[in-house]
Amino acid sequence: MKTIGVLTSGGDAPGMNAAIRAVVRTAISKGMTVKGIIRGYNGLIEGDIIDLDVRSVSDIIHRGGTFLYTARSPLFKTEEGMQKAIETCKKEGIEGIVVIGGDGSYRGARDLSERGVPCVGVPGTIDNDISSTDYTIGFDTAMNTAMEMVDKLRDTSQSHDRCSVVEVMGRHAGHIALQIGIAVGATAVLVPEVPVDMDSVIEKIRKTQKTGKEHFIIIVAEGVGGVDNIAKQIEAATGIESRATILGHVQRGGNPSVRDRVIATMLGSAAVELLDKGIGNRVICKRGNDITDMDIFEALNMKKDLNFDMLDVANCTSI
């Protein structure tokens, strides 16, 4: 391929910029031309395309967000939107695209690949909920942000002998909640993968209180929700003053961690290696220490479970 495009799509994630930089520089070092597609699939539909050279991606490796912007594009899910996107590719001479995003973005990449524009997906979402890969760009930074915020809450919770009920991101998956729960020593972790049992949460608080625990942290994944109600239930049942906090989008921002910058660079570069060989319709995966790739269809049909062994450890180390 002589000309490739790169876009970021869905929710932004710290490290996306590092991935874009890797795509641009790897492609240029192979003699390719790179086009930046602005605001995800919307940019393809509207023809919002910029030329990217080596210096276009200077000074972004350490920045959160995505300098190409990102968006959710309902029109792209229609045949009309898809055809407009294909016309833009023809007009701009884009022969293949690196799509950095989550599962939804992979579906778009699959549809474009089927229609003759080979795409390679790079996993980018703070939720780490893409089945084909152990790791997604942004997960580490988001968790470090969440941990820092919960540590701050712990100070005030400790001072007042309170219970802090904290919602972290993860609409469909509890990966962030689980690891944060362990990292902050939460008394309980509530995830969408396990039915909520408030009786056992309250029982655990009572039990730990009897052994001298004076303040409590409960981590709740966004997909479970209802933190205000959970806090009220805990206060009513135990008499412990409780406060609810939703960390929200703060978790999506900030300078990417070392892990996110390095992995994003490796994943972005691997995507270009495939397009350079004329291979599309694939996704890049991190498996153990290896960077590999897989068919998009296969990737989208996989299921990623929560690490239930880790959940057991979280529960038994927070007694």
User: Residues with catalytic annotation?
Assistant: 127
Q: Is 113 in the site for ligand ADP (CB under 6 A)?
A: no
Strand order in the sheet with 216-221: 188-190, 216-221, 163-168, 242-246
Which DSSP symbol is given to 1? -
Q: Is 72 in the site for ligand ADP (CB under 6 A)?
A: yes
Measured from the CB atom, the residue of 76 and 216 that comes closer to ligand ADP is 76
Q: Is 304 in the site for ligand ADP (CB under 6 A)?
A: no
234-253 binders of ligand F6P (CB under 6 A): 252
CA distance 195 to 163: 21
From 40-48, 119-127, 178-186, 299-307, span contacting ligand F6P (CB under 6 A): 119-127
Helix (H, G, I), strand (E, B) or coil at 278: coil
**Angle at the Cα of 62 (from 56 to 67), degrees rounded to 5?**
45
Q: 131 — phi, psi (to 5°)?
A: -65, -35
With CB cut-offs between 5 and 8 Å by kind, which of ligand ADP, ligand F6P, none does residue 101 bind?
ligand ADP
Measured from the CB atom, the residue of 2 and 115 that comes closer to ligand ADP is 115
Q: Is 11 in the site for ligand F6P (CB under 6 A)?
A: yes
Q: Calculate the CA 240 to chain-centre distance.
A: 34
CA distance 102 to 53: 26
The only residue of 96, 102, 123, 138 in contact with ligand ADP, by rule CB under 6 A: 102
| Structural contact between residues 13 and 126, judged by C-beta atoms closer than 8 angstroms | yes
Which DSSP symbol is given to 11? S
Q: Is 126 in the site for ligand F6P (CB under 6 A)?
A: yes
Helix (H, G, I), strand (E, B) or coil at 131: coil
Q: Helices 227-238 and 198-210, interaxial angle, to 10°? A: 50
Task: Supply the minimum distance, in Å, between the C-beta of residue 239 and ligand F6P.
Answer: 33
Q: Is 178 in the site for ligand F6P (CB under 6 A)?
A: no
Q: Which residues contact 86 (CB under 8 A, 6 or more apart)?
A: 112, 115, 116, 117
Q: Is 170 in the site for ligand F6P (CB under 6 A)?
A: yes
Q: Is 125 in the site for ligand F6P (CB under 6 A)?
A: yes
CA distance 173 to 192: 6
With CB cut-offs between 5 and 8 Å by kind, which of ligand ADP, ligand F6P, none does residue 187 bind?
none
Q: Is 127 in the site for ligand F6P (CB under 6 A)?
A: yes
From 105-113, 244-252, 253-261, 308-316, span contacting ligand ADP (CB under 6 A): 105-113
CA distance 90 to 254: 36
Q: Is 171 in the site for ligand F6P (CB under 6 A)?
A: yes
With CB cut-offs between 5 and 8 Å by kind, which of ligand ADP, ligand F6P, none does residue 126 bind?
ligand F6P
Q: 243 — phi, psi (to 5°)?
A: -130, 140
What string marks each residue from 141 to 160 as x (binds ligand F6P by CB under 6 A) or -? Answer: --------------------
The residue ranges that bind ligand ADP (CB under 6 A) are 9-11, 41, 72-73, 76-77, 101-105, 107-108, 111, 125
